[in-house]
Amino acid sequence: MKIWLDGRLADKADARLSVFDHGTLYGDGVFEGIRVYSGKIFECQAHVERLFASAAKVRLTIPYTRQQIVEAMQQTLAANAMTDGYIRLVVTRGEGTLGLSPFKCPRGSVFVIADQIELYPREMYDRGMPVIVARTRRTSPTMLDPSVKSLNYLNNIMAKLEALDAGVGEAIMLNDRGEVSEATGDNIFIIKGGGVLTPPVSAGILQGVTRRVVMELCAAAGIDCREQTILPAELYAADECFLTGTAAEVIPVTKIDNRPIASGEVGPISRRLIKAFYEFIRR
């Protein structure tokens, strides 16, 4: 496997960051996870723009242009002969000194990994997935802007551990007001009375690229889709539920906290949107 690291391709065993990199020491950095379908980087511009926006919000200078970042991803795909897979694009604060000050890091570091990823068993995409509502709350927007896709995922990891301890693959996180926010790595949608609902940005969510695509697919299909505050009780009372994410794609949820969603089967609107999503990525 070849890794693109700061302007050069290196073997996996030789792709190394300094132990003094603030990405390692403090989780100081930003990233994007991006799918590749038939050699095409999925929603490439949207992901690159979000990366630069995240970096700007934490005052991290990316030492490459947008076009150079795109070329780095393309070089990594070519070096690994990959046409379908997953890119992890990471920008760290770079090597510095012990201590929090980012001004002791003269230059950020960038690396690109092109590999395969499968978050959930494939059969769950047909039969649906059980999840739980985590006790761990989503980091409040008053603490960290949720639009920053940062390297510090400990909050999400603690909720993920709750899911794994419960024997399920994912956990839904509430915000500090007790409203539904998002899953540990995915956005959430519910369906009620034929309409599709998803939490608003004010709920503390990351505005997912796949989330936006699915909302656009709803509009194209004439399905009412709105951002709306969702309470836990509304999850249990939903007709259908699904999650979206670049790695997860679109996956139906059929059970929450061991309670079946409606009949416990994947519903018709979920199936319709999953089909529309796969048609969209094959264009």
pLDDT at 275: 96
Tokens 């979206």: give the residue: 244
Is 149 labeled as catalytic in the residue annotation?
Answer: yes
How far apart are the C-alpha atoms of 211 and 246, rounded to whole Å? 9
pTM above 0.85, yes or no: yes
Q: What is the pLDDT of residue 260?
A: 98
Catalytic residue among 2, 40, 104, 149: 149
Please give the Cα distance from 201 to 203 (Å, whole number): 5
Contact by Cβ (8 Å): 89, 112: yes
Structural domains of the chain, ranges and CATH numbers in brackets: 2-115 (3.30.470.10), 124-281 (3.20.10.10)
Question: Distance between CA atoms of 58 and 147, rounded to whole angstroms?
Answer: 11
User: Tens place of pLDDT for every residue, the chain, 283 residues?
Assistant: 999 999 999 999 999 999 999 999 999 999 999 999 999 999 999 999 999 999 999 999 999 999 999 999 999 999 999 999 999 999 999 999 999 999 999 999 999 999 999 989 999 999 999 999 999 999 999 999 999 999 999 999 999 999 999 999 999 999 999 999 999 999 999 999 999 999 999 999 999 999 999 999 999 999 999 999 999 999 999 999 999 999 999 999 999 999 999 999 999 999 999 999 999 998 8
What's the confidence (pLDDT) of residue 283?
83
